[in-house]
Structure 1
Amino acid sequence: MAVMLKLSLSYLGRSKIQNSFIALLILLSTLLLSTAVMILANTGNQFREMHTRTNGSHQILTFDKGLNDPKAVHTWWASQEGVEVSELLTYQTVSGISFHGMDIPNIYLYMMNTPSTPRVVDKLIFSSGTPEAVPEAGSVWIPTSMANAYGVSAGDTIGFKTGSTTIELNVSGTVVDVPYGAPFTNTARVWMNPSDYSEHVQSLEGNDNYMLGIHFDDYSSNLNYWERYSLEAGSPFLETKMEFESISSFYLIINQIIGFIMIFLGVVMLAIALITIGFTISDAILANYKTIGILKSLGLTSAKTIGTYVMQYSMLSGIAILPGLGLSIWISKFIINISVSSLRVGNRDISVEGTGSAMLVGVFLFAMILLFVVMYAKKARSIRPVQAIRYGMSELDNSRMARRMNSPLTSLFGFARLPVAAVIGVRHVIKTIKSSILMLLLTTTASSVLVLGYVLLSSITGIAQTAAQWGYDNANIAAVVVNKSTFPKEDFNQWIQEDARIKNAGWQGNMTGVISGDSSADTEGQSTSLALSVLEGSYQDLGFETLVGKNPAQENEIAIGVGVAESLDKDPGDFLELYIEGEKRTFLITGIYQAIANMSISGRITMEAMNTIRPNYSDFDAIFINLNNPLEAEIVAREMNHQFKDSASVVTQETLLDSVYTEAADILIYPMSLIGLLFILVTFIIIYSTCRISIRKESRTYGIYKSLGLTSRRIRLSIAMGISLLSAMGALMGILVGVYVLPILLELILADYGIVHLPLILNGVGIVLFACISIIAAALGSWFSSRVIQETSPRMLVIE
């Protein structure tokens, strides 16, 4: 045992830099894998915990169309067993705020008349400010999502746009408001003092609207309640209903994406780490072949030789894994806190689960390292002292290397005709074939990770270019009706008809449809509710796209989201029976589309189809406008917004999307940057380590080169050139993997959220630049590892 310990310490001390890098590699592997496990373990936990804590709504009913009596609906739901309902909340909508001298038009606010009675459903949890029954006069409470998006803190003053006037109110608190507090949303509830509401909002032109939150003891039974409601009320519910899937989806999607990317790349990192350790041991055995042969001739057994490496890497692993676990807990908290920041209360970190799972990852990683050490160290058993002393390797390996260096492949390169520097670089790559394969795989992986991160972030920040592929329209301008009771629709239509800059336009309304459980055996008799889009105009002209088939054009046609198509096993050409406002209609499915909104549990029908149910249907929420010259969109939107600012909000499509998805990019940039940085660092470490080992084995050769007149700098540049050429090949393969393979795996996660084909924006220059980062890391790793050639005299290199 003393001999084994002494040899282990000798190996550790003799290669301090190399062993330090291996320990760092183990640490980074532990860090990435345990962080991935913790993020995956916490995906959705924070939302579910906060939803339970606040007794959150499963459905939100908004009464803004005048088609149902809010008090009657509230009374019916309040009388049901197994259901809890909120107060009948009074509100009016406004659009736009001013903050710190900046106008922010693309935010839609429900100005709530805060009830003084304790809330049973959707309790408000204060993140900052003093909890009160209602806000103080002259102040409001805003959701944490709005505060985070615009940097608003308690004590700040916000101006709320109410057409031609602005209401200046102080923010006295920020609250976690689960139904309207998800990230990446431009809709929020602002809670006002009743006297302020009466003075500033209720006096505005237009009628009060109402809102109702419903919490089910068993959410899966909600459709049974709605069927009973329709029977007892004598008519279906005709107002707007927001489903639980819409409430929860944006809370969960970012953590799902981050968790998936990190768990996948964590496994890749683990595989690279284990293979690297195995190659390092193999190369270490070859480098010390003579020494081991001499020790065996002196009586050191094979078991003790293997035990020496096990002891060495046990010490390295123990030193590296523990800090890796500690860092992973801290980084996991950081990533989780920013990804679900709207659920944070005050400055307190969100409680993170999965510490035990991270510890198990550490134990598993330690066991895997020892297993690989034993597997690769067993090669020491075959060492024969005589061959070791004569060849520095086994006779078979010596013959194999000679054949490789004299093979037709090397002749094909024409070494005799190549410059000396090129010959040295290529020879270094060919002679250490296993290490070269590892470097190739490593640079491929690092490049693919960097390319995926760049493509994903650029695709989100540039979502305006691919809006139609995410399920949105592709029109130049969108006008959202904020106050329906005062909106001058005839004047707006007249403006559109008379403005020569406008090419076409289409009004859109939203309805709820119900698919009977008889439509599919998979639903087991349960009905399915889906969001219906009703368009006056052409879906094609306004840029709505489909994955398969086409958008509806006739009154008996419908296009459905992929979520509906998959759950019902429907294809274009099939028929779909749909209940709209209690009336049954049969539609021909003309197309299938994907949409991140409502998780693709949605459908598109024409206004003609809606007119067969409700003649002269005109309950539109927005209008999409195309221009003859899209470059004029900003000017036209500004003019229309000024004219109709009392009841509508008119913005360009780019403004509408950027204000929402820029936040998603801001959240994703931190974990993607961390992963990219880790892989760059690992690329440098592994290439440094493997090159250092191979240089040490070839020290005699490089000593001869120096004695023949080659400078150290020229030899080092030759080695770096060979590695750069190899990593360039890996970078090219990494581009293919990052652009075509990894997005397919990511689509498996996004499919649950309605996106089965990830819309990517491919910027060739940016992709190449990011892929080249791994080449730079590889070149630097090989350059620094060859410093020993410069620092050692030719005589000493030959002696070694």
Structure 2
Amino acid sequence: MMTAVWTLSLSYLKKSKIQNLFIALLILLSTLLVATATIIISNTGNLFTDMHNKTNGSHQILTFEKGLHDPELVHQWWESQTGVDVSSLMRYHTLSGITHQEQDIPNLYLFMMDMPKLPIGVDKLVFAEGEESAGPEKGTVWVPTSMAYANNIAVGDTIGFHTGKAPLELKVSAIVIDVPYGAPFTNTARVWMNSEDYQIKLTALEGEDNYLMGLRFDDYSANTGYWDRFTGELGTPFLESKMEFEGISSFYLIINQIIGFVMIFLGLVMMLIALITIGFTISDAILANYKTIGVLKSLGLTSRRTIGTYAIQYGFLSAIAIIPGLALSTMLSKVIINLSVSSLRTDHSDLNIQGTGAALLVGLLLFVLVLLCVVLYAKKARSVQPVQAIRYGMSEMESNKIKSRMNSAGARKIGFGNLPVIAVIGLRNLIKNLKGSALMLILTLMASSVLVLGYVVLSSIIGIQQTAAKWGYDSANIAAMVINKSTFPRAEFEKALTSDSRIKDFGWQGNLTAIVNSEPAPNKENTNDPTLSIYLSVVDGSYEKFGFATVSGHNPRQKNEIAIGVNVARSLDKELGDVIEVYIEGKKQSLIITGIYQAISNMSNSARMTIEGVRTVSPGFNNMDVAFINVNDLSQADAVVRDLNDRFKESTSVVTQQTLLDSVFKEAANILIYPMSLMGLFFIFVTFIIIYSTCRINIRIESKTYGIYKSIGMTSNRIRLSIALGITALAAVGALLGIAAGVYLLPVLLETILSSYGIVQLPVILNWSGIIAVACISILSAALGSWASSKVISKASPRILVVE
């Protein structure tokens, strides 16, 4: 009998070559998608953490630009602390913008570093390209990977740095991984100069040198205690700028989180579709071979061995599909990870990809699930009764069920007699094969929802200017950043803005580091309330005027009001109307929370205040280094930018909002477009495969009926068109449901990932014409699949179809 089982299994494989090939491809794609997502998720954070540890990366970066502390004194204090590694005190000069290959690259803020003697200690540099040495040679610089890869800068290229006078031209001798300033989408970079070049070429420029230093704690969670001791011993809190570890790490991780989440979700969906399809195929294979199975059982073939024929068939298909799927997943995940964390990659060593063991487990799990699914559905063969099989070609109950379905009141209400023949045949095909119709409906729904989600996410990032405020940015037409504060002629600049008739209004924004903690409730026993060091934005003017948005409430308007980021609100368990304590320059101020906002920068670990509120505790505060400018006519923005840059180029960098956002988010769109497009193609292909396979099964079952149609004079193409029109109508319904899911449901799931990064409401742009066009791709795929599957009707003669 085992010989019979093997013979039957091989005959099933040979009999339906195309259908089996498509099922194998479906299993392969399921394996590829789920295993790739598993590897990406496994590596999210690991690659950054490994490089951060390898370079002894800093947890905090202190910059001294405001003249509020003696850098040497602060550096000496931190060097005297135990449990903290401290970098050398590094000198730098700020510049803005470069010229590369005769093309200006604006909105690039550069810390031109006076290269210290190696080793640096904290934030060691790793050479990605170029020859490793103790420092740049004279006339050359080292640039970070984030700056080089985003702007196609290679070793040997010459870069012109904007100094406000003649460009400072230097040759790139090496590209280095600089972890704290090397994240994707950043517009700030450290450029490492030869010390002699720095002394000759930069100290001659107007403006004072600035300093920075990095701190790495043995226990980062204990850093608050160090800062409390700093305040106590030096008599003042730290008043300069401080970059936190969360801000350093967030942009390294967020893209992989998005891609991994989307892929694991869609991979699980595809796996479920694969299992349902296999179950449906087995059910219909049993139905199609009902007489054969009945005859074999009458000859002594047991139900267990009948099930075994299907288990061998699909076990073999799974094995030959899962193995290449796993191999391809390793290559695909490496490509995606290399794109998303390219700034951590060197030309002499590949990224250490982890998670292959987890991917193998995914493959094994998928294989087991396929076998379990086969056994579950193949059990239907046990109920095959030889007499009923020979008489009806199916069970008597199934035969009666189909007859009652076709004669039901619902079918009669459709009014088959009043419809064209083509429509009747198409509807009959759908009603008679409800399981297959349900599968195709679900499939087109999922395919269109995936395509719509990808389109919505990409179009929302590409068109981010329309929703900048909802990402935590301003919506002003122009931003002017003060690069050289000591030489900036503020009064002259403001006079130029006021006298320009093209400018509608302007205002200033500054920032400082503040400490916030919860106001203890009267009945609260625990007085150890959480404290946070946050980025505090200060605006001289109206937040609303420059387009700052909130998730709830409104931005601060009075000096006793504050708006806080969603992660600050979450950490301190604060809501609108609550009182929060803010320490500004070491002085406590109790403020009312009037708004809660989301911001992807600083992961919403930030707050907003008015300048009047800050001056309540710091009357001399005037550290406002960004001007927001609105114009009367947006078409004049570029001209205003050119005029201001020409006049104040030695101390400021002026860019339009479009330029500002493009320089940051264009890279994100470029990284996302490849995996999103690939997943969309997968689902289009899967739609074609499953609908082709399902229609072939239905056509085989209905072969007698189609033979009768042809025998009474109906052409093959007309029958095929009837089937295709019915499937297309069903796919259109699925696409409509998919549009709703892709626009309203799946973005909500994506928000669960972005929430930890400070985005609780995904800002989407809904271009309905594009959404409908993208969703129609799944309808086209379904129509092509059904048309291609019905080709067998045109090849077969009516007599062969009737005789089977």
Q: Structure 2 length normalisation: TM-score?
A: 0.99
Equivalent position amino acid for 1:306 in 2: I
Distance 1:569 1:544, change over 3 A: same
> In structure 2, how many angstroms separate the alpha carbons of the residues matched to 1:656 and 1:60?
24
SS at match of 1:115: coil
C-alpha separation in 1, matches of 2:530 and 2:197: 45
Return the letter of the residue paired with 1:310: A
Q: Is the 8 A contact 1:683 1:774 kept in 2?
A: yes
Q: CA deviation at 1:262?
A: 0.6
Moved more, 508-517 or 415-424: 508-517
Task: Judge conservation of contact 1:216–1:222 (CA < 8 Å) in 2.
Answer: yes
The yes-or-no answer on 1:607 pairing with 2:611 is: yes
Match of 1:489?
Answer: 490
Equivalent residue number for residue 339 of structure 1: 340
Q: Which letter does structure 2 place at the counterpart of 1:153?
A: A
4+ long deviations beyond 4 Å = 517-526
Q: Does 1:304 align with 2:302?
A: no
Match of 1:531 among 532, 535, 549: 535
| Helix, strand or coil at the partner of 1:162 | coil
Partner of 2:477: 476
SS across alignment from 2:418: coil
- State the 1:630 CA deviation: 2.0
Of 514-523 and 784-793, more deviation after overlay is shown by: 514-523
**In structure 1, what is the equivalent of residue 420 of structure 2?**
419
Give the corresponding residue for 1:642.
646
Match of 2:49 in 1: 48
Instruction: Name the counterpart of 1:747.
Output: 751
Write the distance in 1 (CA, Å) between the matches of 2:534 and 2:502.
36
After superposition, where does 1:73-222 map in structure 2 within 5 Å? 73-222=74-223
Query: Contact conserved, 2:144 with 2:177, CA < 8 A, in 1?
Result: yes
Question: Relative to 1, partners in 2 of residues 1:518 and 1:225: Cα closer, same or farther, differing over 3 Å?
Answer: farther
2:552 counterpart of 1:548: yes
Q: Is the 8 A contact 1:519 1:577 kept in 2?
A: no
Which residue of 668, 674, 679 corresponds with 1:675? 679
CA contact (8 A) 1:519 1:568 kept: no
- 1: distance between equivalents of 2:571 and 2:631? 38
The secondary structure found in structure 2 opposite 1:165 is coil
Contact 1:517 1:523 in 2 (8 A): no
Shift of 1:519: 5.0
**Structure 1 residues 214-613: aligned runs within 5 Å:** 214-346=215-347, 348-516=349-517, 524-613=528-617
Q: What is the Cα-based RMSD across aligned positions, in Å? A: 1.1
Match of 1:627 among 625, 628, 631: 631
Correspondence for 1:715: 719
The Cα shift of 1:86 comes to: 0.6
* Secondary structure class of the residue paired with 1:164: coil
* Equivalent pair of 2:517/2:572 in contact (CA under 8 Å): no
Q: Would you say the 8 A contact 2:503–2:630 is kept in 1?
A: yes
Measure the CA separation in 2 of the matches of 1:361 and 1:783: 35
Maintained 8 Å contact 1:333/1:349: no
Partner of 2:781: 777
TM-score, normalized by length of structure 1?
A: 0.99
1:795 partnered with 2:799: yes
One-letter identity of the residue aligned with 1:706: K
Q: Distance in 1 between matches of 2:383 and 2:106?
A: 75
User: Structure 2 CA distance, aligned partners of 1:431 and 1:532?
Assistant: 65
**What is the CA-CA distance between 1:164 and the residue it aligns to?**
2.1
Contact kept in structure 2, 1:256 and 1:749, CA below 8 Å = yes
* Per-residue Cα deviation, 1:312-360 (whole angstroms, up to 9, x for no partner): 1111111111011111111011111111000001153211101110100
Q: Encode CA deviations 1:555-596: one digit per residue, 9 max, x unaligned.
A: 111001111111111111111111111000000111111100
Matched residue type, 1:110: F
Q: Is the 8 A contact 2:518 2:572 kept in 1?
A: no
- Tell me, what secondary structure is at the counterpart of 1:416? helix
Query: Is it true that 1:692 corresponds to 2:696 in the alignment?
Result: yes
* Count of equivalent residues: 800
The offset of 1:524, in angstroms, is: 4.8
Are residues 1:733 and 2:737 paired? yes
Q: State, as a whole percentage, how many aligned pairs show the same letter.
A: 63
The answer to whether the Cα contact below 8 Å between 1:478 and 1:623 also exists between their aligned partners in 2 is: yes
Q: How much does 1:526 deviate?
A: 4.4
Pairwise CA distance, 1:711? 0.8
Aligned counterparts of 1:117 and 1:631: Cα–Cα separation in 2: 50
Long gaps (5+) in structure 2 = none
Contact 2:514 2:535 in 1 (8 A): yes
The unaligned stretches of length 5 or more in structure 1 are: none
1:518 shift after superposition = 6.3
Q: SS at 2:655's partner residue? A: strand
Distance 1:747 1:516 in 2: 27
Paired residue type of 1:339: S
Q: Give the CA deviation at 1:616.
A: 3.5
> CA separation in 2, counterparts of 1:517 and 1:714?
74
Letter in 1 for 2:669: A
Distance 1:347 1:727 in 2: 50
Q: Does the C-alpha gap of structure 1 residues 524 and 332 become closer, same or farther in structure 2, counting only changes over 3 Å?
A: farther
Partner Cα separation in structure 2 for residue 118 and residue 420 of structure 1: 83
Could you tell me how far 1:539 is from its partner in structure 2? 0.5
**Residues of 1 paired with 2:427 and 2:468: CA distance?**
48
SS state of the match for residue 762, structure 1? coil
Cα deviations by residue, 1:115-136 (Å, 9 ceiling, x for unpaired):
1231110000000001111101
Query: Matched residue of 2:704: which SS?
Result: helix
